[in-house]
């Protein structure tokens, strides 16, 4: 059934994201911190660097900019931002993620990142209007089933631009095939398409640019990622582990699991 025929873009988003957001709570991301950090560091902060290059070229950020990043994780985009701007306020509710962000920044001598260990709703409740030159959220919009509220709060807090980034299309076809083999019924909508149309639906048309990148992580990290994903839905079985091992081995080369993808970067004036 094509829900878009009977509902708005934001209504379909809410229906599709509600269960996913509930399963991927803070405890889940605390468990995922180490394997996610392996991905970001093994990929050398690749997609973050590319996105910051675009935002710099578009004159959205510069050396005097103040950036608020929502759901910063271990610093995939936070560190590239910090190298190009005056300060980055990094809102991250998962303490293990925030700890690794601080370690990653310290390891390269970056000192202009300020972590805020809390969820965005709590942060937004105390945030003043027009506080940051850029408010940014990458690859975590699915955590917000009430997408209209998120976009409204981002726009209120920013005095310049807001930006959303997410995977283009439904992601890697082999990953979705693997999810089906494991019996995982995750949403299969094109999140970037929905976000772009939701912004238009809300009267906030966005510019868009795409970033090609490769998710590169160690085979141990890939096993952990898939095992944790299954654990959101059920107890991991022996059969699950065998399927995961087969999949990781097939997708790996020289000890690294690699998956190509495209990220869409969407920005609008607040």
pLDDT tens column, 110-154 = 999 999 999 999 999 999 999 999 999 999 999 999 999 999 999
CA–CA separation, 77 and 91 (whole Å): 12
pLDDT at 5: 56
Q: How confident is the model at residue 176 (pLDDT cuts 50, 70, 90)?
A: confident
pLDDT at 171: 66
Question: Which ranges in the chain belong to alpha helices (H)?
Answer: 9-23, 26-42, 46-57, 78-84, 95-107, 120-126, 147-157, 173-181, 191-201, 219-231, 238-251
CA–CA separation, 145 and 198 (whole Å): 12
pLDDT at 3: 47
**Where do we find the tokens 């994780």?**
73
pLDDT tens column, 30-66 = 999 999 999 999 999 999 999 999 999 999 999 999 9
- What value does the mean pLDDT take over residues 178-204? 93
- CATH number of this structure's domain 7-174+186-218+260-269, picked from the four choices 3.40.920.10, 3.40.50.150, 2.60.40.1930, 3.30.43.10: 3.40.50.150
Above pLDDT 70, what percent of the chain? 97
Domain ranges for the chain, please list them.
7-174+186-218+260-269
- What value does the mean pLDDT take over residues 71-99? 98
Query: Given a cut of 60, is residue 170 above it in pLDDT?
Result: yes
Q: Residue 260: beta bridge partners?
A: 214
Q: How confident is the model at residue 188 (pLDDT cuts 50, 70, 90)?
A: confident
- Residue 80 token pair: 């590239």
pLDDT at 4: 47
What average pLDDT does the chain have?
94
- What value does the mean pLDDT take over residues 99-107? 98
Q: How confident is the model at residue 217 (pLDDT cuts 50, 70, 90)?
A: very high
- Cα angle 15, 17, 23; round to 5: 125
Of 66, 73, 6, the closest CA to residue 43 belongs to 73
- What value does the mean pLDDT take over residues 219-236? 96
């Amino acid at each position: 059934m094509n829900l878009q025929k009977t509902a708005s873009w934001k209504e379909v988003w809410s229906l599709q994201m509600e269960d996913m957001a509930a399963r991927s709570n803070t405890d889940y991301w605390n468990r995922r911190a180490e394997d996610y950090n392996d991905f970001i560091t093994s990929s050398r902060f690749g997609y973050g660097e590319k996105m910051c290059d675009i935002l710099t070229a578009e004159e959205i950020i510069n050396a005097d900019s103040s950036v608020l990043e929502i759901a910063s994780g271990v610093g995939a985009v936070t560190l590239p931002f910090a190298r190009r701007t005056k300060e980055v306020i990094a809102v991250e509710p998962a303490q293990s993620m925030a700890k690794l962000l601080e370690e990653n920044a310290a390891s390269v001598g970056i000192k202009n990142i300020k972590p805020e260990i809390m969820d965005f709703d709590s942060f937004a409740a105390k945030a003043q209007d027009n506080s940051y030159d850029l408010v940014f959220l990458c690859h975590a919009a699915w955590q917000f089933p009430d997408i209209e509220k998120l976009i409204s709060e981002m726009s209120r807090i920013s005095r310049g631009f807001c930006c959303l980034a997410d995977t283009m299309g439904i992601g890697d076809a082999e990953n979705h095939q693997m999810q089906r083999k494991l019996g995982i019924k995750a949403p299969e909508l094109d999140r970037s398409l929905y976000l772009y149309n939701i912004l238009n639906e809300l009267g906030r048309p966005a510019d868009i640019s795409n970033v090609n990148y490769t998710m590169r992580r160690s085979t141990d990290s890939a096993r952990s990622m898939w095992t944790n994903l299954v654990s959101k839905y059920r107890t991991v079985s022996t059969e699950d582990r065998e399927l995961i091992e087969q999949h990781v081995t097939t997708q790996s080369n020289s000890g690294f699991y690699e998956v190509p993808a495209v990220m869409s970067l969407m920005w609008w004036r607040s």
